Amino acid sequence: MLPNPKAYTRDLINLPYGDKWRALRAIFVHELLGPARVRSFDSVRESEVSLLMERLGHRSDQARPANLTAEFATFTNNLICRTAFGKKTVHVERVLEVIDQVVALFSKLTVGDFVPWLAWINWLTGFDAAIDRCVRDIDDILETVLEDHLARKEGVDKDNFMDILLGIYRGDVPGVSIDRITVKAMIYDVLGAGTETSAKALMWMMTELIRHPHIMKKLQDEVRGETEGKTVITEDDIQRMPYLKAVIKETLRIHPPVPIYMHEAREHVNFMGYDVEPETIVVMNVWAIGQDLAFWKDPERFVPERFMDSSVDYRGFDFQLLPFGAGRRICPGIGFAAATLQHTVANLVKNFDFELPGGARGEDLDATEMPGFTVGKKQPLVVVPRRVELGSRSGLEE
């Protein structure tokens, strides 16, 4: 569940299951985030990955450290911004700032979370007022962007989420209708769920690779071997990189970007001897599932090889690995996220070696977590990127 301002409860994530939810789910799956639509954004993804490589290349040329935590935040913000609106805009930077505030607010436990009839205390503490301010800010900004798109004389471009949704709003898709609030709520979902989670996943993946130089070298050898003589990594290349996919799975097992999911029971359920009453919030601890000794040997160790001869995947069919959820409520952006992680990491390890500032060793890298709605690293990931030429030695220095 994405922390959502009260005005945007008509979105896919927070709507209860029913006809309206099914209609919005269909819009996400078929119009916004289906396989064909994800492929249509390949050029945008390639462009933003290329810009990320350029920024790191400048750091390499100057032998200066790069803050990968900040770089990944910029990269994912720009990517989601362009797919959502067709261009980078200052409005989105402000929306993302406010979304960060919303996430921080909802990451705090309040009395009303445990004793509903004491929820009025949130008013006394200023919690409700802070949420209301965020609601007004987000709605004002998204309304401005919506009006800008509606005012375009050339009509719907079909090259970004806002124009696609406005086409449905105008009635371009037979049998489907949405209002202005729903358009803004769905864009809020895309921005809120797509930016921070992807940035955190990239940061943790590179953290683990740097902490384990032998795994970094093995991945670099695979990527560089499959793309020798090429400047662009294609989807066909990615399909020949099983170790890359194993590294991604292992990262998502140990560091799920959202460690818990919350669902509301629609009806009475007896589960494993427990009676769950209607409207009960059920918390699913995704992180704990990934650490369960019943499924994973040495679960605290980062071992991508455990997935090399395994059919276990993160697409919701294997309940021991659920970083995107499962069932009807599985994250509809799973395909977009997977493509982003695969292509970004492949380009990073193909084009650069990475050292830690001051000659520190990889195993000494601080991986202390920062608790929150999404789990980050307490200290930013700062590295010295070294641009590599074809045939040079790969890997983090031992």
190: which 2 tokens?
């895309």
Q: Which residues contact 17 (CB under 8 A, 6 or more apart)?
A: 266, 328
Q: Which residues are annotated as a binding site?
A: 331
Tell how many helices (H) and how many strands (E) occur in the chain.
16, 9
Strand runs labelled E in 68-214: none
Q: Which two tokens stand for residue 212?
A: 């384990």
Backbone phi, psi, residue 118, to 5°:
-100, 15
Backbone dihedral region for residue 89 (phi beyond 0: left; psi -120 to 50: alpha; all else: beta): beta
Per DSSP, the three-state class of 10 is coil
Residue type, 189: D
H-run or E-run covering 281:
strand 281-285
Beta-bridge partners for 270: 275
- Residue 249 token pair: 């799975």
Q: Which two tokens stand for residue 168?
A: 């449905």
Closest CA to 210 of 312, 355, 331, 103: 355
Known binding-site positions for heme: 331
Q: Please spell the DSSP secondary structure of 32-51, one letter per residue.
A: ISSHHHHHHTHHHHHHHHHH
